[in-house]
Structure 1
Amino acid sequence: MKIRGERECTECGTRWSYYETGSVGCPACGSLRSVGVDERTEHTDLQVSFDLTPVRNAIDEVATDDLAERARDRCREYVRCRGFVNAGTLRDLDDTYLAAIELLHVADIVSRDIRLEDREELYFLALLRDADRGERPPVEDVPDTLRSARGLAYANAVREYRRDLRTWSGDRDLTASERRALETLGEHVTRIRMLDGDIEPRAAERLVEATRDLANGLRGEERAFARAQERLSDLDLE
């Protein structure tokens, strides 16, 4: 959506940036009465912190399924608030978002699985340990029983990113090649979701790489766009 992010309080005259605070309340007096003083700018990214420390601190106190529920709830709130256009600037599809959305899907499985294997629990704990630092387990560590969680998580992440990518590029004329690349990316996402994410983890990773290259290509990097086209053409979801 397009908003006027630079605000001026009509009560006390204080000016602040909604883009920085994520709040419509005046930081000086708390009033909710303000006016925009800039042009409307595309903005989909809300200010939200992602800290799993309280969940990690409960590891020795609660059962794994309860721990997973707590992690799932925190990840859901973070992912719900995140967007990729900030004050008109396109953000990257970053590792913190990817780790959070994967942990959301893995934690959902862990919270419901009454016969959790050691490798599945260890993978969940690895995500819990590092997700809010933007670190993800390598593809070779993904248990076969959880590969659908990573595949579906990344497909959903790319779906959301593609939506914001289209929003961000809406005011410019895309070339036929750029439009085709965006359409192909969407087709891959649809197929992965139809497969319920059950693809090889390396294929899910290549989808992310293609998305990042496409974003950089639409920013004007010709080599990145060429790589995106090649990755999208070669992506094997079997």
Structure 2
Amino acid sequence: MKIRGERECQECGTRWSYYETGSVVCPDCGSMRSVGLDDPTEHTAGSAELDLTEIRGLVDDQPLADVAEAAAERCREYLRRSGFVSGGELRPLDDTYLAAAELRLAGEAVARAMRLSDDEGYYFLELLRGADAGERPPADAVPESMRTVRGLAYARAVDAYRSDLRRYLDDNPDETVGSLLATLRDHQKRIEALDGDVSPRSAGELVYIVRAIGRALADDDETALAEAQRRLDGFEVDL
């Protein structure tokens, strides 16, 4: 949405940036009466931060299903409050967002599982250990029974980023990028239709492509755009 990010409090005159605080409440006096000083600018990014320290502390004392449910809820809230356009500037699709998307679905799967293999439990714990630092198990360490988690998580992350790229294009039109995003959406929708049951390599390739498109837009990088085009032309979903 477009907002006036530079705010001035009508009570005390304090000025601040909504882009930094994520709030229209005056940071000095707490008043909600403020006015925007700049032109409306596209802004979808929130001030969300992912901190799993407290949930990691539950591992030794709580059933794994309860820990998984708590981790999924924490990631769900983080993802809901995240975005990729900040004051009109495009941000990258970062590793923390990807890890949070994957941990959310892994947590939901573990929380509802009747039986959990050692590999599945280890996979979840590895995600929990490093997701807030943007770390996640490599593709070849994802258990076969959990590959739907990565596939669907990555497809949803690509969809969220693609959506914000579209918003960015409204103010920075580029016909070539628009065409690439339409093709990307077709592949992303197919992976979602398969409930993410694709190879981790395919899911990772889709992330690479949308990141390259993001770099092309944010940095006017023609090399990144050509790379995205080449990879998208050769993309196939491996089942």
Q: Indicate whether the TM-score tops 0.5.
A: yes
Partner of 1:8: 8
**Which residue identity lines up with residue 71 of structure 1 in the other structure?**
A
Answer yes or no: is 1:136 the counterpart of 2:128.
no
Give the total of aligned pairs: 237
Q: Secondary structure at the match of 1:16?
A: strand
> What do the CA deviations read for 1:147-192 (whole angstroms, capped 9, x no partner)?
00100000000001000001001123322x3222111111011100
Q: Secondary structure at the match of 1:27?
A: coil
> What do the CA deviations read for 1:117-137 (whole angstroms, capped 9, x no partner)?
000000000000000001121
Partner of 1:182: 181
Q: Give the Cα separation in 1 of the matches to 2:23 and 2:165.
A: 24
**Which residue identity lines up with residue 125 of structure 1 in the other structure?**
L
Q: Give the Cα separation in 2 of the matches to 1:158 and 1:114.
A: 30
Give the percent of matched residue pairs that are identical in Structure 1 and Structure 2: 54
Partner of 1:86: 86
Q: Give the Cα separation in 1 of the matches to 2:49 and 2:205.
A: 28
Partner of 1:47: 47
Partner of 2:153: 153
Q: Give the Cα separation in 1 of the matches to 2:170 and 2:181.
A: 12
Partner of 1:56: 56
Partner of 1:168: 168
Unmatched runs of 5 consecutive residues or more in structure 1:
none
Q: Secondary structure at the match of 1:7?
A: strand
Q: Give the Cα separation in 1 of the matches to 2:183 and 2:42.
A: 25
**Which residue identity lines up with residue 194 of structure 1 in the other structure?**
A
Q: Give the Cα separation in 1 of the matches to 2:47 and 2:184.
A: 28
Partner of 1:205: 204
Partner of 1:115: 115
Answer yes or no: is 1:67 the counterpart of 2:52.
no
**Which residue identity lines up with residue 185 of structure 1 in the other structure?**
L
Answer yes or no: is 1:126 the counterpart of 2:117.
no
Q: Give the Cα separation in 1 of the matches to 2:58 and 2:46.
A: 28
Q: Give the Cα separation in 2 of the matches to 1:172 and 1:85.
A: 12
